[in-house]
Structure 1
């Protein structure tokens, strides 16, 4: 029953995002030659941007919730979510993000690096409904944004997530990846 409620809530959120948003779609080739389908949905009504990569088993998503100031990176193939507070001083506002996607800004023109802590998110309710919906039921870690990837010492590794105009490095303990 809980799974059904989650699915209905998540689908409702996605339907709301898609129906009232500006959507950009891109189909290209992945590093292994496979087809990668990417979308960005920007909803000015809810102040949420959703990035999606559909690439088979390595599909991933990101939600940028401007209302709560939170960003979530969802990696279902690893059954984890990574959340961070948005640095509003250097992250484009929703109108700038919309403009960048529609003007054909170069792919991966926004770069972010995060150090993932081993600290689990204990109260998903404080993150806002969009983040809660995408991360519900998954192990969710806190992350801190860095100007560049943190140094790789002591068994740390980085995973690169390329979400259309957003290029993300998620760095943490090797057990996360």
Structure 2
């Protein structure tokens, strides 16, 4: 995990054989970008700052995670559905452009409720605080 107080950007990364990913949370621009290595995809979405931990709380949450304080705490689950491809990565800044360049990059929109085809989702656990759930396809009518 890397946190820059100057740019208000947090970068989280997990590497494993099953699922490796990297997510950038830019609190200044209000953008979340997530790269899922096994899928060779990126997802870019608007950050709902009411649902996300505050930038100032991230260091404390990371320390709790390292010390396994709050183990078993219910994580907040944010579900995003992809809707179209990103045409211009440069508009999201250098960090996101570098991370997602050459990958299929989707626009992802937060949704609420149970009207999703959950079989097509990838869930990423960030600090045992937020689950980012990325689902392909459309909301079922």
TM-score (norm 1): 0.65
Which runs of 5 or more residues in structure 1 are unaligned? 1-39
The DSSP-based 3-state class of the residue aligned with 2:87 is coil
- Partner of residue 78, structure 1: 39
Q: Distance in 2 between matches of 1:149 and 1:74?
A: 25
Which has the larger share of helix?
A: 1
Give the secondary-structure state (helix, strand or coil) at the position aligned to 1:173: coil
Any residues of structure 2 matched to 1:1-177 within 5 Å, and which?
40-56=1-17, 58-104=19-65, 106=70, 109-117=75-83, 119-148=84-113, 150-152=115-117, 157-165=120-128, 166-173=130-137
Report the aligned-residue RMSD: 2.4
**How has the CA–CA distance of structure 1 residues 150 and 95 changed in structure 2, closer, same or farther, with 3 Å as cutoff?**
farther
Q: How many residues align?
A: 132
1:103 counterpart SS class: helix
Q: Which 5+ residue runs of structure 2 have no aligned equivalent? A: none
Partner deviation per Cα, 1:68-117 (whole Å, 9 max, x = no partner): 21101101211110010111232222102222222346367332111111
How far off its partner does 1:61 sit? 0.9
Q: Which fold has the larger relative contact order, with Cα–Cα distance below 8 Å and residues 6 or more apart in sequence?
A: 2
Contact 2:64/2:70, CA 8 A, preserved across alignment: no
| TM-score, normalised with respect to structure 2 | 0.80
Q: Which has the larger radius of gyration?
A: 1
- What is the DSSP-based 3-state SS (H/G/I as helix, E as strand, rest coil) of the residue aligned with 2:117? coil
